[in-house]
Amino acid sequence: MKVYFVSDGTAITAEVFGSAMLSFFDVAVERKSVPFLITKDQAEGLKQQINLEVQQGVALLVFYTIADAGLRDIVQSCDCHCYNLFGELLLPIEKALGVKAQPTAQKAHGMKEGVYDGRIDAINYALANDDGASIKNFDEADIILLGVSRSGKTPTSLYLAMQYGIKAANYPITEDDFSSPGVPKVLKAHKKKLFGLTIEAQRLHEIRTGRMAASKYASARQCRYEVDEVESLYRQERIPFLNSTKLSVEEISTKVMDEMQLVRHRQ
């Protein structure tokens, strides 16, 4: 099965919504995004490509979010099943709000300038404060993620920044930190911002082995020790924490947002 995600914007919305629906079906899917489809020639070219693949026996679906009615008609006329992701939703929302929808190209996918600047600022903050690289700006943090090396701190910090505009610092808990009681001194003033990540020791061993095989750092014994110690630290200090082993970065971030009652930055 091949699936096209088509949009007059980034195609992220089409891909997210379409993928969410496809997740209910146990089928192998080849995915292709087609962003910024804004001209008739582009739409006709896409239609020709899709129809050719269908003629060659490819099972094909199209999920699309397009504002221009003419372009929608061209995509909808492809020789396959096509789904206008906004089409079935707009009419009942119009009735509920009592306001006619006025879609324009990329409007549904765009971002206000202030919001965009805020996201970039948050991303820069996450990069500058990754893995304890800097501790000078912790006052600015919305959250400080803790965890042993390779427990998911960096990708979660960046996802929180990119998707929610959250300034997320992260700090590695190392073997040296276990020799002293409580959280590291540099974190004590920010305890309300702390959130811990943990991971199953076996999975941690596998990840570290892929990076530094046959090292103490990657040994199963060291991984068990660090996980046991860091979870003990979280419990003793009453730091909320989450096991990241079987969760995607999206799921981790959503749970962190909820647990810490963080608010998406829209300004």
End-to-end CA gap in the chain: 41
**Binding site residues, as ranges?**
147-154
Cα dihedral 118/121/126/132 (nearest 10): -130
**Binding site residues for ADP, as ranges?**
147-154
How far is residue 74's CA from residue 47's CA, in Å, rounded to a whole number? 7
Reading the block at residue 98, the tokens are 């009592």
Total number of residues shown for the chain: 267
* DSSP H or E run through 255: helix 249-259
Question: Residue 38: helix, strand or coil by DSSP?
Answer: coil
Say which residues have a Cβ less than 8 Å from residue 128's Cβ, sequence separation at least 6: 134, 137
- According to DSSP, the β-strands at 143-147 and 60-65 are unpaired
Residue 31 · residue 100 · CB < 8 Å: no
